[in-house]
Amino acid sequence: MESTQQSIVSEITLDSIIEKHQGKPGLLLTTLEEVQEVHPLKFLPHETLTRLSQKMRIPYTQMYSVVTFYSFFNLKPQGKHSIVVCRGTACHTKGSKGLLDEISTVFGIASGEIDSEQSVTTADNEFTIKTVACFGQCAQSPVVAVDGVIYSNVNSQKLLKILAKVNDKPLSIRVK
Q: Using CB under 6 A as the criterion, which residues of the chain lie in contact with ligand FES when the complex forms?
A: 86, 88-91, 134-135, 137-138, 141, 143
User: Which residues, 6+ apart, have CB-to-CB distance to 158 below 8 Å?
Assistant: 151
Return the number of the residue (18 or 90) whose C-beta is nearest ligand FES. Answer: 90
Question: From residue 23, how far is each of 10, 12, 19, 60, 143 by CA, in Å?
Answer: 22, 19, 9, 20, 37
CA–CA separation, 77 vs 42, rounded Å? 6
User: How far apart are CB 22 and ligand FES at their closest, in Å?
Assistant: 36
Return the number of the residue (76 or 92) whose C-beta is nearest ligand FES. Answer: 92
User: How far apart are CB 86 and ligand FES at their closest, in Å?
Assistant: 3
Are 156 and 99 spatial neighbours (Cβ–Cβ below 8 Å)? Answer: yes
CA–CA separation, 61 vs 99, rounded Å? 35
Return the number of the residue (38 or 90) whose C-beta is nearest ligand FES. Answer: 90
CA–CA separation, 95 vs 89, rounded Å? 10
User: How far apart are CB 94 and ligand FES at their closest, in Å?
Assistant: 8
User: How far apart are CB 138 and ligand FES at their closest, in Å?
Assistant: 4
Strand partners, 121: 128
- Give residue number: closest CB to ligand FES: 88
Return the number of the residue (35 or 83) whose C-beta is nearest ligand FES. Answer: 83
